[in-house]
Amino acid sequence: MHRKEVYKIIDQEREYQSLKWNERTTDSNGFHSIIEFLVFIRDYTEEALHAESRMDEKSADEFATHNVRKIAALAVACMEQNGALKRS
């Protein structure tokens, strides 16, 4: 899969997240600190690891791949809300 396709999928996930978690649906108005985003990312990571250790390989890989998409989009959302630093 090419990077352009991957970024498109991440962008679609970000759109989904923004529609699901926003000023109408959360007390936080959809904004979170870096530590909150890290907790969300850790939760999805642990969920994927749990699936990988409990499910058959094909099902686990599919489940984990969905979680990787969510994690990538959460990282993007974190940088959108809290800033991002360029590599020096």
Domain count, the chain: 1
Determine, yes or no, domain membership for 22: yes
Q: What is the pLDDT of residues 28-83, one digit of tens each?
A: 888 999 999 999 999 999 999 999 999 999 999 999 999 999 999 999 999 999 99
Determine, yes or no, domain membership for 39: yes
Q: What is the pLDDT of residues 7-32, one digit of tens each?
A: 999 999 999 999 998 788 888 888 99
Determine, yes or no, domain membership for 87: no
What pLDDT sits at residue 29? Answer: 83
Give the global pTM: 0.92
What pLDDT sits at residue 22? Answer: 79
Q: Domain span at residue 57?
A: 3-82
DSSP-assigned states of every residue in the chain: --HHHHHHHHHHHHHHHHHHSSTTT-TTTT---HHHHHHHHHHHHHHHHHHHHHS-HHHHHHHHHHHHHHHHHHHHHHHHHH------
Determine, yes or no, domain membership for 88: no
